[in-house]
Amino acid sequence: MTLRPWVLALLLIAAGAAGGGVAAAVQAWRAPAAGGDVRAFLLAHPDVIPEAMQRLQERESGKAIAANRPAVEQPFAGAVGGNPAGDVTIVTYMDYACGYCRSSLPDLASVVKDDGKVRIVYRELPILSADSRTAAQWALAAAEQGKYLPFHEALFAAGRPTPAAVAAAAQAAGLDLARARRVAASPQVAAELGKNLQTAGALGMTGTPAWVIGDRILSGAVGAAALRDAVAAARAA
C-alpha cells in the first residue's frame, strides 16, 4: 500500500504529539502492513489528529510565508504604523467594505498601544466590490503623502466605502486631491494591488481580514488576544 506524502507527514506529527516520537512513526511507516499500522496508530490516538493537522497547516503556512516574505513585509511607502523599528511585524490585509476588518481596528489599536515594539504593515486587498478597489487606490495615494492612517481611520469610520465616503475621508486627512488622483490612477498603485492579490493567493488567503505574524497566518476577526499570542510566538521563535 502506497501512502500519500501528506499521510506520512500527518503520522510523523501525530507521533510527536502523542509522545511516540518520530522513530515510532517511521517504524510504523516501514512495516510490511504500513497502511494498517497507520490506521491503528491514528485510531489509538484520535485526539492528536486535530493538533497534527494544525501543525501541518502551520508548517505549510510557514513555508509559503518564507517564500513570499519580501512581498508580505516590505510595505508600500507610507502604509505603515506602530513602531517602524519594531522587532515583530504584524501584516494586515484589509478591504474597506469588510465589516470584520472594521471591527478588528480596536483590537489592532490595543496591541499597538500595549506593545511598543510591534510594526504594522497595511496591505490593501480590495476583493469585495469596485468601491473597495477605488478606496484602496486612494488609501495608497494617502500613503504617498504620508497621511495613510488619517485616511484609513476616517474611511473605516464612515462605513461603506462609497465615492462620497472616500471623498470625505480624503478631505478629513488633508490630502492634496489633485496629487492623490494622479497617484491613485498610477501604474505603481495598480502594481501594488496586483501584488497583494497574488501574494494573498500564494498564502492561501480566502478573505479579509487576514494577518501574517512571523510564520503564522490568521484569518478573520481573531481578536486582540490571538494577535498578542502570535506576536509572542514570533518573538520566541
Residues forming CATH 3.40.30.10 domain(s) in the chain: 72-236
Per-residue confidence (pLDDT) for residue 5, from 0 to 100: 47
Residue 32 scores a pLDDT above 70 = no
pLDDT value of residue 39 = 67
CA atoms within a 13 Å half-sphere pointing along the CA-CB vector of 29: 19
pLDDT-based confidence at 66, cuts 50/70/90? Answer: confident
Choice between 17 and 166, residue whose per-residue pLDDT is larger: 166
Look at 47 and 179; give whichever has higher pLDDT: 179
Assign 28 a pLDDT band (cuts: 50, 70, 90): very low
Cis omega (within 30 of 0) for bond into 75: no
User: Are 151 and 139 spatial neighbours (Cβ–Cβ below 8 Å)?
Assistant: yes
Q: Which region among 19-28, 73-82, 128-137 has the lowest average model confidence (pLDDT)? A: 19-28
Q: So what's the pLDDT on residue 36?
A: 56
Task: Round to whole Å and give the CA distance between 160 and 102.
Answer: 10
pTM, to two decimals: 0.77
Spatial strand order in the sheet of 210-213: 80-82, 118-124, 88-94, 210-213, 216-219
Q: Is a pLDDT exceeding 80 seen at residue 158?
A: yes
- Residue 19 vs residues 37, 123, 129, 209, 233: alpha-carbon distances, Å: 17, 40, 49, 36, 22
Q: How far is CA 100 from CA 18, 38, 125, 159, 220, in A?
A: 36, 41, 14, 12, 7
pLDDT band with cut points at 50, 70 and 90 for residue 61: low
C-alpha cell at 58: 502551520
Give the pLDDT score at 35. Answer: 52
Task: Please give the average per-residue pLDDT across 1-7, as a whole number.
Answer: 46
d(CA 233, CA 236): 5
List the CATH code of the domain at 72-236.
Answer: 3.40.30.10
What pLDDT is stored for residue 2 in this prediction?
Answer: 45
Query: Which tens digit of pLDDT belongs to each residue from 118-149?
Result: 999 999 999 999 999 999 999 999 999 999 99
CB 226 within 8 A of CB 210: no
Task: Specify the pLDDT at position 182.
Answer: 99
C-alpha cell at 196: 497583494
Confidence label for 89 from pLDDT (cuts 50, 70 and 90): very high
Which residue bears the cell 503520522?
11
Cα 132 to Cα 124: distance, rounded to the nearest angstrom = 9
